[in-house]
Amino acid sequence: MKLPESLDNLIEQFEKLPGIGPKSAARLTFHLLAKPDEEVEQFGRAVSDLKKKLKYCSICFNISESEPCEICSDSQRNQSIICVVEEPLDIISLAKTGYDGLYHVLGGAISPMNGIGPEHLNIESLISRIGKNGDKIEEVILATDPSLEGEASAMYVLQQINKLQEQQSKLKKIKITRIARGLPVGGDLEYADEMTLSRALEGRKEY
Amino acid sequence: MKLPESLDNLIEQFEKLPGIGPKSAARLTFHLLAKPDEEVEQFGRAVSDLKKKLKYCSICFNISESEPCEICSDSQRNQSIICVVEEPLDIISLAKTGYDGLYHVLGGAISPMNGIGPEHLNIESLISRIGKNGDKIEEVILATDPSLEGEASAMYVLQQINKLQEQQSKLKKIKITRIARGLPVGGDLEYADEMTLSRALEGRKEY
């Protein structure tokens, strides 16, 4: 049976989302179909508007409506600590633990298999950020995923910071820590519950 | 942490969909965020356009871009058999079995708990449809869900068709059938509930 085009269209769009198969996609589409026009229109607008007002913060590369982002421009936050994460989504999880320092979003993880090298990530900007704020920064927490790629990225960032410290001998010694692997290895940071994540922050160890 | 409004907005919209919790909603939103503007715009448009071109077929109440729908206006189909279903989505599943008769969409199932009575469903229209096409229709398959509500709806439709046949004594005797309830193919007998197993035994067929 050929479905009406607009139905087929939306089912196809839903199928592109992660974790949504053909059956779920059809279910979601028919669910919307049964909703009032206004609700469906609201949803459509929310999708269309998503990227219109958003930009990446030039300091930490988090997603934001302002420049610099809310976190970077919040002087109440602890300016002496930077938490390095892979994705903006990770910040939401970490924010729930009560962490009140700054962030730096790498925009992914090093993954040679997918052709992603250090040069594709916001690592250079992190190093120069640390170099410029060397008097303020006391600790860098490496909170990349506890996966192969995440570990590799953490190691690479560690090396780069060490190199920076060798070059700028006047730089205050920065503590570099890695979140504890209380997180299930091979897991994904964004799925961790708040407690596990809090423990992981508490149990961080110096390299 | 306060999220940018447009992000919050879309997460909220995703959360309204069935089977999508707060974490999944955030994940889907950030997934879209990482996509090119054009792709996101396409998705938004697909949602917004969903209901603009669609209407309910005045004969079978399926969703369609034309009036009557593609199925009702397809003379190649077997016109002597009507399959009664709860939702338009059910038609997609049935179409895959190779069934080539007509359909009638009730638009739900009788559910007094949710305040849905027979008068809220497309049952009257089904009865008058059968009354008008009595010379053509040979069988009505009741394919509502094998749930409490679905069974109640099937029983009600059965009674109404019987009543119609009593009133219109000239009407050809119509066969009324109910889809078989039994073990799902590929299922495991030991996990089947008692009701299903009872139905499977009742419906047993000789080789």
pLDDT in tens, B43-96: 999 999 888 888 899 999 999 888 899 999 999 999 999 999 999 888 888 888
Residue B93, classified by CB atoms within 10 Å of its CB into exposed (0-12), middle (13-18) or buried (19+), is middle
pLDDT in the model for residue A117: 95
Pick B168 or A185 by higher pLDDT.
Answer: B168
Tell me how far the alpha carbon of residue A163 is from its chain's centroid: 25
Domain B75-181+191-202 carries which CATH code? Answer: 3.40.1360.10
Contacts of A29 in chain B (CB under 8 A): 50
CATH fold of A56-206: Dna Topoisomerase Vi A Subunit; Chain: A, domain 2 (3.40.1360)
Candidates A27, A49, A109; CA nearest to B89 is A27
Token pair for B190: 């030991």
For testing contact with chain B, the best of A28, A50, A106 (most B CBs within 10 A): A50
Contacts of B48 in chain A (CB under 8 A): 40-41, 44-45, 48
**Cβ of A40 and B48 within 8 Å?**
yes
What is the reported pTM?
A: 0.69
pLDDT in the model for residue B99: 87
Query: How far is CA A61 from each of CA A92, A97, A131, B89, rounded to the nearest angstrom?
Result: 14, 21, 17, 43
Per-residue confidence at B1, pLDDT binned at 50, 70, 90?
low
Q: What is the arithmetic mean of pLDDT over A13-33?
A: 92
Cβ pair A77, A102 in contact under 8 A: yes
Q: Which of B5, B12, B30 sits opposite A88 (nearest CB)?
A: B30
**pLDDT beyond 90 at A190:** no
Token pair for A143: 């909170």
Q: Which CATH class name applies to B5-49? A: mainly alpha
Q: Where in chain A is the domain with CATH 3.40.1360.10?
A: 56-206
Query: How far is CA B47 from each of CA A42, A53, B16, rounded to the nearest angstrom?
Result: 9, 20, 14
Q: Where in chain B is the domain with CATH 3.40.1360.10?
A: 75-181+191-202
The alpha-carbon gap from A139 to the nearest alpha carbon of chain B, in Å, equals 21
* Euclidean distance between CA atoms B60 and B100, whole angstroms: 14
Contacts of A71 in chain B (CB under 8 A): 1
Q: Where in chain A is the domain with CATH 1.10.8.420?
A: 5-49
